[in-house]
Structure 1
């Protein structure tokens, strides 16, 4: 099993920010030049050493995580119920929403109702690899 590379040594990414907002309703005329830059690395990554990019494949987490999305995953964040996580279940990676019931039983929940949740039997081996902090979805 090969793990993705850490973003620890990745270059900083800054992009120009348009001087106006983009209206989702009635359009507003905007200027043709940016006035500032946004450092996406500083905005999206809490800890570069603990942060990885994963590519999502499949449809079990749609519409929250569309197939082909890029996931920013932080290994330094403690997993908590309700968070989307990358988990290893019996040696296989999966992306699901973490649920823990009152009895302490763990379920990895699919967002798409056409896919079953993963209820962990007592002898299953499960590790939370990291917590998804951002989802970069492909444009539709």
Structure 2
């Protein structure tokens, strides 16, 4: 079930990246003429640095959600998990990344749902040692592997 390796981020150094506004998926345009804004991961992606971790995704259980092996998940431990969120769960001593399904709460259980038909949901009931470790707020992909 282990599907994420946790990594603590360092948020001391400011890093600005140039941001090209309005990148089109169709006909290419000369974006260099429009580079005006900057992107700072610390400012723009991380709301709670003291509670934010990175996780390197291992496995293919979330591939239909676009979360693939080797992707980096940005995990905020201070965000309150909601139904449908992608979460990092700690289940019986192992970490996993799945969708949180709270629809069966009144029946006495919840589920962690994969995004791959080859995997079954993980049923969490009162006998399961379980914690929502954090909520995935961003994912970072590597398109050139």
Same structural fold, with TM-score higher than 0.5 when normalized by the shorter chain: yes
Task: State the SS of the aligned residue for 2:43.
Answer: helix
Give the equivalent residue in structure 2 for 1:45: 46
5, 13, 20: which one aligns with 2:8: 5
Map 1:74-113; keep pairs closer than 5 Å: 74-100=76-102, 101-103=104-106, 104-113=108-117
Task: State the SS of the aligned residue for 2:22.
Answer: coil
Matches of 1:37 and 1:86 in 2, distance apart? 30
How many residues are paired up?
Answer: 137
More helix by share: 2
CA separation of 1:119 and 1:16: change in aligned 2, threshold 3 A = same
Q: CA deviation at 1:114?
A: 1.1
CA separation of 1:55 and 1:133: change in aligned 2, threshold 3 A = same
Give the equivalent residue in structure 1 for 2:122: 118
Equivalent residues of 1:107, 1:117 under 8 A apart: yes
- The unaligned stretches of length 5 or more in structure 1 are none
Map 1:60-71; keep pairs closer than 5 Å: 60-64=61-65, 65-71=67-73
Q: CA deviation at 1:36?
A: 3.2
TM-score for the superposition, normalised by structure 2: 0.83
CA separation of 1:117 and 1:17: change in aligned 2, threshold 3 A = same
Task: State the SS of the aligned residue for 1:52.
Answer: strand
Q: What do residues 92-138 of structure 1 show as CA deviations (whole Å, max 9, x unaligned)?
A: 00001001125152100001111111012431110010000001122
- The unaligned stretches of length 5 or more in structure 2 are none
TM-score for the superposition, normalised by structure 1: 0.86
CA separation of 1:111 and 1:3: change in aligned 2, threshold 3 A = closer
Equivalent residues of 1:53, 1:72 under 8 A apart: yes
